[in-house]
Structure formats: structure tokens, C-alpha cells
Structure 1
Amino acid sequence: MKLLLIEDDIKILSFVKKGLEEEGFLVDTAQDGSSGFYLASEFPYDALVVDWMLPGIQGDQLCMRLRAKKITTPVLMLTAKNTLEEKVHGLNCGADDYLCKPFEFAELVARLNALLRRTSYHFDETITLDTLKITVPKRHVSRSNRLINLTSKEFDMLMLLLLNKGSVLTHTQLQEKIWGISESTSSNVINVFIHHLRQKIDTEGEKKLIKTVRGSGYKIDDT
């Protein structure tokens, strides 16, 4: 697995790079947002580890620019910001997970491995629902032949809904399957992801596929 680590603190950069390489990862590095954005845009990576507070381009803006270019590489954001509003902002900008500083290296590795597992599907098939089409191995999503750009967590959530088509998934089930049982994620964050997924999937003129079941959770169907 090849990672890009974007961190301006040279001590943290050196420590994390060395540790990740000892875990078997191939690691490229950048010490500012502009260099990191260039590398992430031009070269393929399995995941990005991005510090929020970067010179040049800050981490949240870097994520937004990557997503605008339809680059869906999973992003783990490193941040000293730990309020709900700040976490939601980071996720809204395109990060797939976050880890607050200071952090334990073992947790960083665990979160990276979990993120990589969640984004590694092994289906050899295409899934369709109404005009929605997902080519799973390529993580290609379209509706009425319109390409839809999803973050890795949004793709995971869409896949989970589709694999349970017609069944209601609760907040607890979404939390466990998408974020992992050890991660404490509020209902507000899950609601934000569903809202963004709806904006991308259920556009005007299309049948609404993602439905809220009040007091229970969410489901997807074409009825």
C-alpha cells in the first residue's frame, strides 16, 4: 500500500513516516499543502494522511480541491481541532476520517487499516437501481449516465444501503459498518453524510431513492 503523508512538523513527519514504513507501507511525504496537492493530483495513492494546519494550502482546502478534481483517494485528517463543528467541517470538505492530535501511533495505523479495508471492495459486478449504476470494482457511480463523484465514505454508505436494499439501517448499524465499532460518531455526522449522498444521488427530476424512516433510520429502494 502506498501512502502520501502531508505534515509540516518535521519531527512528526519523520516519526510517522518511519513507523508506517516499518508497518510495510510505502510512504511519500510533503511538508506543505501546495506540494501535497500536486503529488495527490498527479500520482496514485491508496490513502492520504493530511495535517489540517499546513502552509500554502490548509488540509481542509486541500481535500476540497482534490474532491473538485474528482480524486476520491481516502483521506485521514490529522487535526488539533476537536469540536463537533470542526469535525463535521472536515468531513464535509472531503476527509473520510480524522484523528485528533496528540495521537498514539497504534491508533493511526489502526484507523488507516480500517479505512483501507472499507474502501477495498471485491465485487465483480455492476449494481443498478432505477437509473443509478455502480461499477463496483472501479468504484464508478453514475445516474442517467451522469458521473457522480463520491468520497470513499459516501461510496461505502451507498454500497451498504444497496446491499440492504429495502431494509432500514439504523444509526447504530451505519456507525458500526462505516466508522467501526470503536469510533464514537454522532447522529449529526451520519445525517450530514446522508444529506450529501442525497444531494448527489437524488437530483431534481430523478426518482428519490434514499428514504428516511422516522425514528428508525434510512433505506434505499425504487418504490
Structure 2
Amino acid sequence: MNILLAEDDVRLGKLVTHLLQKEFHRVDWVKNGRDAYDNARIYTYDVIILDWMLPRENGLSVCKRLRDKGVQSGILFVTAKDANEDIISGLDSGADDYIVKPFEFKELLARIRAVSRRKEKPLEEVITIGNFTLHLNTHELIGKDSLIDLTKKEYQFLEILMRNHNQVITREMLFEKLWGFDTEVSENALDALVKLVRKKIDLPGTPSFIQNVRGIGYKVRHTDV
């Protein structure tokens, strides 16, 4: 299962991430509401575990904005607020369920399974732009009826661009999503990655599918290439 964890308590975040990964779930962990919103808009998650009291933007606001944007992922609130009015506010904002701190990990797993079962699957199976089709469930790229072999980073890069095909994705956002802010990887790694992807997918004498927006970032080209 693909899970987004939004939790600013570092100790709890590390523990929950570790335990979920031991259950063979894929986990993205962020520590503030703004990053939770950005990740949920870019990637497809089966379940979003959303702490109520987050820095930069609280979980209630994040939940409302995601639902307003049509994000259909299951949302599970984690909160220390156990008053009925708070629980009602959380559910009315678009959350599917809630769990009150402190909680047992077995209960968290049970609620994750319950929230996941309620949501219709799959949320999105393919994205087709021009001659390219990205299969989200199998992580494959098809171009002109042939499979294009991609590394994990190359796939992630194209997934971000194709999911957000109507907008330019900044270099800063791409670098953060692909490597994270705490990495020692050089910023030149993004340029190298773009070059490798273009070499694999572009045809000689045609405009690149990956369009460089000078001084800002990248977007995909909507015409057939």
C-alpha cells in the first residue's frame, strides 16, 4: 500500500514509518502541512495519515484543500483532540476516519485497512500524453507501442511531470521530491537525470518531450513527438 504520513513529532514519525515499512507498505514521511499537501497533489496514495496539529498548515486545512482539489485518497486523522466537536470537524473536512493519540500500532493498521477498503480502486491507472503512456500501477512507460526501460529515479521524474502536465515544475521541487533537502547529491544530478531520460525517450530530429522552461524548471510537451 502507498501511504503518506504527515507527522511533525520526529520520534513518532520514525517509529510509525519503520513499523509500516515492516508491514511492506511504501511510506513517504513529511513533517509539515505544506509538504503534506504538495505530496498528496503530486503522487497517488492509498491512505494519507494526517496529524491534526502540523506546522505551516494544520491537518484540517490540508484535508479540506485536498478534497476541494478532488484528491480521493483515504484520509486518516491522527489527533490528540478527542472532543466530539473536534472529531465531527475532522470528518466534515473530508477525512474518512480518525485515531486518537496515544494509540496501539495494531489499531492504526486496522484503521488503515478499513479506510483503504472504503475507497474505490484504482484512483488512476494510466496517464497518456502524446505518444507516451505511463502505467502507474506497474511503473512502466510505453512509447510508440514499445516498453521504455527506466530506472527508479527516471520513472519518478517522469511521473511528477506527467501528473502535473499543465504546469511547470520548478527545479527546487523536483530536487526535493527526488532526493530530498538533506541529501549530499549535487544539484547537477537533476541535469544529468534529464539528459538520460531524454536520450531514452526522444526521437532524433524532434522536439524533446521534456520541455525546459529557462530559469524555472521543466514541463512535458503536449504535442506528439
TM-score w.r.t. the length of structure 1 is 0.54
Shift in Å, 1:119: 2.0
Write the distance in 1 (CA, Å) between the matches of 2:34 and 2:120.
28
2:91 alignment partner, SS class: helix
Consecutive unaligned residues in structure 1, runs of 5 or more: 122-136, 140-223
Distance in 1, matches of 2:114 and 2:94, equals 17
Give the aligned length.
Answer: 124
For the pair 1:86 / 2:90, whether they are aligned, the reply is: no
Q: Give CA-to-partner distance per residue, 1:32-76, whole Å, 9 cap, x none.
A: 000111000111111100000000110000000001111111100
Partner of 1:119: 119
* CA radius of gyration, larger in: 2
CA distance in 1, matches of 2:109, 2:44: 20
Task: Flag structure 2 segments of 5+ consecutive residues without an equivalent.
Answer: 125-225
In the TM superposition, what whole-angstrom CA distance separates every residue of 1:66-125 from its partner, at most 9, and x where no partner exists? 01111111100000001111100000111110000010111000110111122246xxxx
RMSD, aligned CA: 1.5
CA–CA separation in structure 2 for the residues paired with 1:116 and 1:33: 22
Counterparts of 1:78 and 1:7 in 2: how far apart (Å)? 9
Q: Which amino acid aligns with 2:90?
A: G
Alignment-mate amino acid for residue 54 of structure 1: L
- TM-score after normalising by structure 2: 0.53
2:29 match: 29
State how 1:153-164 maps to structure 2 within 5 Å: none
- Which structure 1 residue ranges, 4+ long, deviate > 6 Å from structure 2? none
Residue 138 of structure 1 deviates from its aligned partner by 6.3
Is it true that 1:44 corresponds to 2:44 in the alignment?
yes
Counterpart Cα distance in 2 of 1:138 and 1:28: 18
